[in-house]
Chain A
Amino acid sequence: MPQRLSIAESREVRMAWLFAAPALLAIALVAAFPVLWTFWESLHRHDLRLPWLGRPFIGLSNYREALADTRAWSAIAHTLFFTATTVSAELVLGLALALGLNRPLRVQGALRAAALLPWAIPTVVAALIWRFMFESPDGSSWFADPLAAWVPIILADVWKMMPFVALLLLAGLQNIDNSMYEAAALDGAGPVRQFAFITLPLLRPAIAAAVVFRSLDAFRVFDVIYVMTGGGPGTATEPISLYAFTALFRELRFGFGSALAMMVFFVSFLLALAWIRLLATQESVT
C-alpha cells in the first residue's frame, strides 16, 4: 500500500465522506442527539413543578439517588424477570411453531399468515384483550395479587411476540440444506438425533438473532404492562421504563427521570454489545 494517497484517491475519500454525510447527520440527529440531551438533562436537578429551584448542575446526584432507590432496583429486577421468562417461552414455542410450519403443506401460505396474526395486532389492543379475558365477573382478580398478576402479562406478551420468533426461526430452517437430513437418515439417525445434531446447531445464528431482538425489546417493555396492570398491585409488576415514565411525565422530575432513562439505555446497550460479541464468536466457531 502506498504511504500517501494519490490525488484521485483522496478525492474519492472526500467524496465518500460527502456521500455518507447525510446518513451520518441523520444518525447524529435521530440517535445521538436525544441520548446526549437526556444524559445532559440527567446531570441537573430539573423539576418542572418547582421553577424557583432553577436547573442547577448536580453531577451524578440523580444517579446516586436512583442507585439508592429500592423502587428502581425492584423495577430492574421485574424487567429482567419479564425478559427472561418471555424470551425463553417465546423461543421454545416459536421453535415448535417454526418446525410445524416448515413442512410442505398445501395450506402453507394461509397457515403462516394465520400464525402471524397476533403479531400484527397493536400491542395496546392485544394487552386490552388479555386484560378483559382475565377479569372475572365474580369479583376475584388476577391483578390484585403480586405474583398472579404476572401470568396475564407474560401470556399476552408471549402470545403476541412468539409468531415473530417463529418467523425468524422459520427463515433459518429453510436455509438448512435438505441433503444433510437425507445423509443423516442414511446413516440411521432418527428424527431426535437429526434435530439435536443438525437442526439445532445450524439454527444457532437464527436463534441468536431472535434472542437479541427479543431480549432488547423485552427489556424496554412498557405498553403491555402499562395497559394491563399499570405496574401494580403496588409496584409489583413495574418495569424500569414505566418508572422512568412516571418520574418524567407524572412527577415532572426531568433530571431524575432522565437518569432512570439513561440507565435503561445503558443496560440495553450493554445487552446489545454482549449479544453481538456472542454472535461474533459463534460465527468464528462455525
Chain B
Amino acid sequence: MSRAQFGLCKRAGCVALVLAGGIASGCGGASDGRPVLTFSGSAVGREAEILERQFDRFEIAHPPWRVELRSTPDSADERRQLYVQWLNARAERPDVLQLDVIWTAEFAAAGWIRTLDDFAPTVVDFFQGSIEADRWRGSLYALPWFVDVGMLYWRTDLMPEAPATFQALMQRADDVMQEQGLPFGFVWQGARYEGVVTVFLEHLGGFGGQILDETGQVAVDSEEAVRALTYMRDAIWIHNVVPPAALTWQEEQSRFAFQNGQAVFMRNWPYAHALMQDSRDSRVANTFDVSLMPAVTGGSPTAALGGSHLAINAHSAHADAAFELIAFLTAADQMLERAQVAGQFPSRRSLYDTPELTEALGLSARAARQIIERARPRPVTPIYSELSDILQIRLHRALSQQQEPREALVEAASAMRSALTRAGLDGGTRR
C-alpha cells in the first residue's frame, strides 16, 4: 500500500480503501505502479532461491515488469488439482505455469493454455522427446524447462560396473545382499501413483515392450509386458531383492534407503544425484554412480522421460510478457544456473557439449545426454491421467499379488482402450 493511501486511512472510509487496496494487490495490480506477471510452480528449497534470482535479472532486462512467484503444493497431483481449479474458473492468473510433461496435452486440449505458435520460438535445440510432448494437434503449447530421466543408481564400492541386463542386476543385488548384509537389493517407487508407471515403463522398454505401439494402439497386454511385470513382482516376493515396503514408496523413501547405504541399486530421477553427493547427509557420497537402466536381449535400455515445461495461461492478460519470461527462463544461461543450483538436467542439447554442464551437475554431461536420448515419453494424450490411473491400479494389484500379471495387464489394456474410445481418441493418440 502506498503512502498516499495510508494518509487517507486516517479518515472515515479507510476500511473500504484498505480492502480495495488489498484486493487490488491480491489480484496482482501493481502496488508500486509496475505491472505484474505471476509465475506458478514448484518452489521447494533451492528452486525458490534460484527463481527469485532469475526473476530479478528478468526484471532488470524487461522493465517495467515485476514477476511474482505463486508457490504451489509440492505434490504433483495436488498442484495439478489447483491448476485445474484456477484454469477452469478462467482465472487470469497465474500468467506462466510450470507443467509436468504429462499434463501438457491435457491442458492444451482443454483450452487452458495458449498456443505458442504466434511467438514462433526456435525449438531445434530441445530434446526431441520433450518438445514432442509440448505439441497437441500440430500446435506448440509449451517449452521444455528441464528434463527428468529415470536412471539406475549403483554403488561403485560394491561392483566395478553397472549391470547391463536385468538378470545380472538381480544376481548382483542378491550376491551383495548375502555377502555384505545389505537389507535391500534394488529400491524403486512402487506406491500407487505416477511413479510406479514410470518404473514399469523402464522395465517394459528393457523387455522390448511399449505402452502404446507405433500406431497409437494400447499394447500393455503384450508378452513383453507380462514378462516385465512378472520380473518386477518376482523381484519382490520370490527373490527378495526389492522390499515389499517399496510398494508404498515414492522418490524420497527410496533415496533415503539408498543414501543410508541400505540398498545396492536404486531407480530414481536426477535430483537425487545432487542431494546424495552431500556427505553430511549421505553415506554413499563418493561411492555411487548413475547409468542406464538394464535391458534383456531383444529389449533396449529405457528411461522414462519426465520434466517440467512452461506454458501460458489461456486467459492471461499479458501473453506477450509471459512469453518473454518463458523465453528468458528457458535460455541456456538460466538452464545452466539451474543445473548448478538444483541439479536439474537442461532441456537444450547444445549445453551437453559444454564442460560447464559437467561441472555444474557433478556427473558426465555426455553420460547424462546418452540417458536422455534413450528416454521414452509417456503417451501424449489429454486423458493421460485416466490411462495412468487405470495402469497404476492393475500394476499395483499384480505387484501386491492380488492378480496375476497377465490378468492385470489384459484388464488394464481393455480399460485403457475403452477410455480412449469413450473420449473419441482411439485413432488419434500419439505415443
Interface residue ranges, A against B (CB under 8 Å) = 47-53, 71, 135-136, 138-141, 143-146, 229-236, 246, 249-253
Residue of A with least CB distance to B399: A233
A50 CA / B425 CA spacing, docked (Å) = 10
Q: Choose one: A48, A138, A143, A231; the contact of B110 (CB below 8 Å).
A: A48
For B110, the chain A residues whose CB sits under 8 A away are: 48-51
6 contacts between A and B (CB under 8 A): A48-B84, A49-B109, A140-B244, A141-B247, A144-B400, A234-B396
Most buried by B among A135, A139, A143, A251: A139
Q: B389–A251 contact, CB under 8 A?
A: yes
**Distance A251 CA – B84 CA, assembled complex (angstroms):** 11
Q: How far is the CB of A34 from chain B (nearest CB, A)?
A: 16
B397 at the interface (CB under 8 A from A): yes
* List of 7 A-B pairs having minimum Cβ-Cβ separation, nearest first: A139-B243, A234-B397, A233-B400, A141-B245, A144-B244, A144-B247, A232-B192
Q: Is the CB of B383 within 8 A of A50?
A: yes
Within 8 A of A (CB), among B246-291: 246-248
Chain B 382-412, CB-CB to A under 8 Å as 1, else 0, gives 1101100100011011011011000000000
A58 to chain B, nearest CB (A): 12
| A49 touching B106, Cβ below 8 Å | yes
Known contacts: A246-B389, A250-B389. The answer to whether A143 contacts B248 by CB under 8 A is: yes
B48 contacts A by Cβ under 8 Å: no
Collect the chain A residues with CB atoms within 8 Å of residue B386's CB: 250-251, 253
Q: With A and B bound together, what is the CA distance between A8 and B111 in angstroms? A: 61
Cα separation A249 to B109 with both chains bound (whole Å): 17
How many angstroms between the C-alpha atoms of A138 and B182 in the bound complex? 11
Q: B353 at interface (Cβ–Cβ under 8 A)?
A: no
CB neighbours of A140 from chain B (8 A): 243-245
Interface status of B193 (Cβ within 8 A of chain A): yes
The reply to whether A234 and B248 contact each other, CB–CB distance below 8 Å, is no
In the assembled complex, B12 has its CB within 8 A of some CB on chain A: no
Known contacts A138-B183, A140-B243; A50 and B382 CB within 8 A of each other: yes
In the bound complex, residues from chain A placing their C-beta under 8 Å from that of B166 are: none
9 new A-B contacts, CB < 8 A, other than A50-B110, A146-B400, are A48-B88, A50-B424, A138-B183, A141-B248, A143-B248, A233-B247, A235-B397, A250-B386, A252-B84
Asked whether, in the complex, the Cβ of B245 is within 8 Å of the Cβ of A136, the reply is: yes
Q: Are B402 and A231 in contact (CB under 8 A)?
A: no
Known: A48-B110, A139-B184. A234 touches B191 (CB 8 A): no
A50 touches B423 (CB 8 A): yes
Residues of A within 8 A of B184 (CB): 139
**Is B81 in contact with chain A by the CB < 8 A criterion?**
yes
With both chains docked as a complex, state the minimum distance between the C-beta of A70 and any C-beta of chain B, in angstroms: 10
The answer to the question of B77 belonging to the interface, with a C-beta cut-off of 8 Å to chain A, is yes
Which residues in B have some Cβ–Cβ distance to A below 8 Å? 77, 81, 84, 88, 106, 109-111, 183-184, 191-193, 243-248, 382-383, 385-386, 389, 393-394, 396-397, 399-400, 402-403, 423-424
B245 cross-chain contacts in A, Cβ below 8 A: 135-136, 139-141, 143-144
Bound CA–CA A230/B195 (angstroms) = 14
Query: In the complex, A229 Cα to B400 Cα: how many Å?
Result: 13
The CA of A139 and the CA of B111, in the complex, are separated in Å by 45
A138 to B245 Cα, complex, angstroms: 9
Nearest residue in A to B87 (C-beta to C-beta)?
A48
Residues in chain B near residue A136, CB distance under 8 A? 245
B residues near A49, Cβ cutoff 8 Å: 106, 109-110, 382-383, 385, 423
* A252 contact set on B, CB distance < 8 A: 84, 385
**A50, B88: Cα distance in complex, Å:** 12
Name the A residues within 8 Å of B397 (CB-CB). 233-236
Cα(A267)–Cα(B424), bound, Å:
33
Question: Complex formed: what's the CA distance from A230 to B248 in Å?
Answer: 10
Which residue on chain B has the smallest CB distance to residue A245? B81
Q: Which A residue's beta carbon lies closest to that of B403?
A: A234
Residues of B within 8 A of A139 (CB): 183-184, 243-246
Among A71, A145, A146, A252: residue with most chain B CB under 10 A: A252
Cβ contacts under 8 Å, B385 to chain A: 49, 250-252
With a cutoff of 8 Å between Cβ atoms, the chain A residues found around residue B193 in the complex are 230
Across the interface, name the chain B residue whose C-beta is closest to A251.
B386
A146 touches which one: B84, B383, B402 (CB < 8 A)? Answer: B402
Say yes or no: A50-B243 contact (C-beta < 8 A), given A233-B192, A251-B386.
no
CA distance A253 to B383 in the complex (A): 10
Contact, CB under 8 Å: B402 / A250: no
CB distance from A63 to the nearest CB of B (A): 16
In the bound complex, residues from chain A placing their C-beta under 8 Å from that of B192 are 230-234
Which residues on A sit within 8 Å (CB–CB) of B77? 250
A52 CA to B110 CA, complexed, in Å: 8
Q: How near does chain A come to B315, taking the closest CB pair, in angstroms? A: 14
Given known contacts A47-B423, A51-B111, A251-B386, A236 and B402 CB-to-CB distance under 8 angstroms: yes
A3 to B397, CA, bound (A): 70
State in angstroms the CA–CA spacing of A234 and B389 once bound together: 10
> What residue of chain B has the Cβ atom nearest to residue A47's Cβ?
B423
In the bound complex, what is the Cα–Cα distance between A233 and B196 (angstroms)?
Answer: 12
Does the CB pair A143–B247 fall under 8 Å? Answer: yes
Select from chain B the residue with minimum beta-carbon distance to A145.
B400
